[in-house]
Amino acid sequence: MGDEQPTSGDVERVSASNARVRLGSPDRPQHWREPPTRRENAVERTLHDSPFAFDVEVAYGDLDHLSPVSLRPPLRDYLRDLWQRRHFVWHESRGRFATQNSADRLGGFWLVARPFLDALFYWIMFGLVLRMSQSVDNFVAFVLIGTMTFQFTSRVIGQSTSVMRGSKAVIRAFSFPRASIPLALVVREMLSSLPGMAVCLVMIAVIPPHALPTPTWLLVPAVFAAQTLLNLGIALCLARLGSDLPDIANATGFVMRVVTYASGVIFPIDKFIGDPVALAIVELNPIYAMLKTYRVVLIDGALPEPLLVATLLGWGVVLTVVGLIAFWRGEETYARQQ
Amino acid sequence: MRDSSSLFALPVERPSRVTLYAEHVRLRYSVQADRKRRFLGRRRPVSYEALHDVSLVAREGEFIGIVGRNGSGKSSLLRVLAGLEPATAGIVLASSKPQLLGVSAALLPELSGLQNVRIGLLAMGLRPDEVETRMPRVIGLAGLGDSIAMPMRTYSSGMGARLRFAISVAAEPEILMIDEALSTGDAAFMERSRIAMEGLLARAGTVFLVSHAAQTIETMCTRAIWLDQGRVVTEGPARDVARAYRWYSHNLALGNDEKAEALLDEATTTLEERRASMRSDATLVARDVPAQLTSEIEREVRAVTARIPVVGRAPGRDAASRHPSTDQQAG
C-alpha cells in the first residue's frame, strides 16, 4: 500500500494511491508520476490516509495538481525569485528615496544640505575650536571621512531591526521573496548616501590642510561597493533578528555608540590602544577596516594593505551569506499577525 | 481541457478541478493576556485556538462566502488558506498561490497611487513590460480619477481598498480572497468589482469572500461556510447558509440567546455528514481509465473504501461503485 514509486508496466502491483491518482488525471501519462520530494511525501502520506481526501477525490477529481501554500522554496529557487523581483526592489527603493524629503519645503535640497552642514560642524569643531591634530596629520579630513561614510552603515543598522514590521502592509498584500525588503532598504540608503559622499570628497579637498585628489581616489567606488555588501549582510542579519526579537530595536542606540567609538569614526582608536590583543580585536572589526580603507585611499593616496581589504570583503561576504540563509529560514514568519 | 487524443475519453464535461484543499487545520496563538503580573516576572502566555479542525475544499468557478460573528476565525482562516500564516496543524494545498485582499493600511503611504500600482504589480512578479501594459486597466478599474497621482496616505479607506482590489485582480490570480475589503466601496465600485470577479470565475478561478452582511453573501456567492468559534458550523448553498445565519444573528441581536443557541445546534453539521453529502452528489470523474484497468481499480477502490469508518447510510459504497459502471460504457 505504501509503495509510492511508479512500477512501469506492472499493472499487478499498482498501489491504491497510484490508482487514485489515475482516476482523474486527464493530461498526464498513465504510468508515470514525478518522484516526490521528502516534504511532498509527508503531505502525500497524510492525504493517502485521509478519508476526507478520499471523498474529495472521488467527488471532484484528484488533488495531484495542488501544492502546499506555505512552503518555503529551496534556497536556489528563492534566489532566482529574488533576482526576478529586482525591478520591484529598484522601484520600491527609488520611489521611497525620491519622496523621503517630500514633506520639507526645500525637498531634495536637503540631500546635499544636510551632509554639508554636518561637515561644516565637524570642521569648526575639530579643525578650528579643538585643534586636535597631534596624533593625525590631517585630522579634519580624518573626521570628515569617518562621519560621512559611516552614516550609510549607521542608517542601515538603525532601520533594519524594524524594517520587517514597518513593511507589514506590503508583505501581507503580496507574495514575494521577503529578502527584497532589507535589500530595498540597502539600495535606498545607498542612493541617499551618494550626495553625502560627494560632499565629503569636495570638503576634504577644499578645507585646509587640503587632501587633494590622487589616482587612488578612483578606488572609492570599489570601497563603496564593498561597504554596500557589508551593509547588506548586516541588514539581512538584523532584519531577521529584529523580526524574531523586537527587543533588539531598544539596544541599537547603545550598540551604535559602541560601534562608533570601536571603529574609530571620530577618534583614531588604534593610536590609543597599547594592548596588542585589544588592537587585534579592533582591527578585526569590519567597520574599522572600511573606514581605514577609505582614509588610506583618500588622505594618504596609497593602496590599502591586502589584510585590510580581506577583512572588509571577508566580513561582507560571510555576513551576506549567513544573513541570507538565516533570513530565508524565517521566510514563513514575516507575515504573521503577532 | 480534456485530452481528446485519449481512446477512452467519454463525452463528459470536465468537472471543475479542486483549487484549494484544507484538512484538519488548526491555528493556535499564544498571546500575552492582560493579567496581573509579578515584578519583572514574564507573563505566562495564554494559548488561544483561533481555528479548530477546519476542513474544506474549493473548486474552479466557485464563489465561496464565509460568514460568522466577530472573532469566529474568518480572517484567520483566510490568512492560513493564503499561506500568510502557517497552520499549527493540518495541511493546506492550493493550485496556485492565493491572493489575499485584506483590510490594511496603505501599502507605501508616502508614494502616489500610481507608484503603488507599479510597485505592487512588480511585487507580484510581473515583468516591467507586462506592468506597463496592465497599468491603464488597473487605473481604470480603481476609478480614482486624479487622486491616483496623490500620495496613498491621503486616501480614504474606501479609496485604498479600491486601489488594492484593482492591483490584486490585475495579476489574474487563480484564487482571490477578499476580507471585508469591498464593504468600504460605494455602489459604483461594487458593480465594477462584481464584473471583475465574474471574469475571474469564468477563467476557472475561485473567489472567497468574508462579509458580515449575509445579504451580500446570499446575492454574490454560490456556496457559503458558516464559522463559529473557529469551527465550521455548516456549509452548503449560499442561500441556505446565509439565511440560517441571518436568522441566528437576528435572534442573537434581539437577545434571544437560548433560541440562537438552539438554532446554532440545529444548523451544525459534522464533517462526516458533510462528507456524506459530498459523496452523494459525486459526479462522474473517472473518464480516462483504460478498460483493462477498471476491474483492478474497482478492487482497489473497494479495498480503500472498506477502511473508511462509515457513518449512517454508508454512501461511500455508492460513490465508489459508480466508477466501474461508467467505465464499462467506455469500454
- Which of B92, B275, B281 lies closest to A69 in CB terms? B92
Compare B131 and B269 and report the one with higher pLDDT.
B131
Q: What is the mean pLDDT of chain B?
A: 79
- Under an 8 A CB cutoff, do A54 and B120 touch? no
Between residues 157 and 186 of chain B, which touch chain A (CB distance below 8 Å)?
A: 164, 167-168
Q: Which residues contact B300 (CB under 8 A, 6 or more apart)?
A: A14, A15, A16, A19, A20
- Under an 8 A CB cutoff, do B83 and A100 touch? no
Between residues 194 and 233 of chain B, which touch chain A (CB distance below 8 Å)?
A: none
Identify the CA nearest to A335 among candidates B76, B118, B206. Answer: B76
- Candidate from A51-60, A100-109, B1-10 with smallest mean pLDDT: B1-10
A234 contacts A161 by C-beta, under 8 angstroms: no
- Compute the distance between CA of residue A169 and CA of residue B109 in angstroms, rounded to an integer: 10
Identify the CA nearest to B101 among candidates B160, B168, B157, B162. Answer: B168
pTM above threshold 0.90: no
Q: Is B187 exposed, middle or buried (0-12, 13-18, 19+ CB in 10 A)?
A: exposed
Question: Residue A261 — pLDDT band, cuts 50, 70, 90?
Answer: confident
Residue B92 is predicted with a pLDDT of 92
Instruction: Sort out which chain B residues have CB atoms less than 8 A from A175's CB and list them.
Output: 83, 97, 99, 124
- Under an 8 A CB cutoff, do B124 and A175 touch? yes
- Under an 8 A CB cutoff, do B304 and A16 touch? yes
- Under an 8 A CB cutoff, do A20 and B93 touch? no
Q: Which residues contact A258 (CB under 8 A, 6 or more apart)?
A: none
Site from A13, A14, A56 to mutate, B interface, most B CB atoms within 10 angstroms: A56
- Under an 8 A CB cutoff, do A99 and B111 touch? yes
Orientation angle between helical segments A51-60 and A16-23, nearest 10 degrees: 30
Query: What residue of B is the nearest CA neighbor of A63?
Result: B18
Instruction: Sort out which chain A residues have CB atoms less than 8 A from B293's CB and list them.
Output: 11, 14, 22
- Predicted confidence (pLDDT) per residue in B142-199, tens digit: 888 899 999 998 998 888 888 988 888 888 889 999 887 677 777 788 888 888 888 8
A232 contacts A182 by C-beta, under 8 angstroms: yes
- Predicted confidence (pLDDT) per residue in A121-145, tens digit: 888 888 788 776 666 778 888 889 9
B101 has a chain A CB within 8 A of its CB: yes
Instruction: Sort out which chain B residues have CB atoms less than 8 A from A87's CB and list them.
Output: 122, 127-128
Query: Residue A300 corresponds to which amino acid?
Result: D
Query: Does pLDDT of B1 surpass 60?
Result: no
- Compute the distance between CA of residue B64 and CA of residue B236 in angstroms, rounded to an integer: 10
Identify the CA nearest to B221 among candidates B78, B83, B98, B63. Answer: B63
Prior bond to A209 cis, omega within 30?
yes
Instruction: Sort out which chain B residues have CB atoms less than 8 A from A54's CB and list them.
Output: 304-305, 308
Instruction: Sort out which chain A residues have CB atoms less than 8 A from B107's CB and list them.
Output: 169-170, 173
- Compute the distance between CA of residue B112 and CA of residue B121 in angstroms, rounded to an integer: 14
Query: What residue of A is the nearest CA neighbor of B123?
Result: A88
Grid coordinates standing for A230? 557589508
Identify the CA nearest to A49 among candidates B51, B27, B23, B95. Answer: B23
CA A65 to chain centroid, in Å, comes to 35
- Compute the distance between CA of residue B187 and CA of residue B254 in angstroms, rounded to an integer: 29
For residue B226, what is the enclosing H or E element? strand B223-228
What does the domain layout of chain B look like in residue ranges?
Answer: 279-330
Residue A17 is predicted with a pLDDT of 40
Identify the CA nearest to B244 among candidates B221, B260, B220. Answer: B260
Residue A85 is predicted with a pLDDT of 94
Grid coordinates standing for A325? 540563509
Compare B243 and B46 and report the one with higher pLDDT.
B243
Q: How many inter-chain contacts (A to B, CB under 8 Å) are there?
A: 205
- Predicted confidence (pLDDT) per residue in A7-33, tens digit: 444 333 333 344 344 444 444 444 444
Residue A153 is predicted with a pLDDT of 94
Integer-rounded Cα Rg, in Å, for chain A is 28
- Under an 8 A CB cutoff, do B287 and A60 touch? no
- Under an 8 A CB cutoff, do A59 and B94 touch? no
Residue A24 distance to chain B (closest CA, Å): 5
Instruction: Sort out which chain B residues have CB atoms less than 8 A from A176's CB and list them.
Output: 123-125
Give me the mean pLDDT over the B319-325 stretch. 43
Question: Residue A278 — pLDDT band, cuts 50, 70, 90?
Answer: confident
Residue B225 is predicted with a pLDDT of 93
- Under an 8 A CB cutoff, do B79 and A55 touch? no
Residue A253: CB atoms within 10 Å: 9
Residue A81 is predicted with a pLDDT of 92
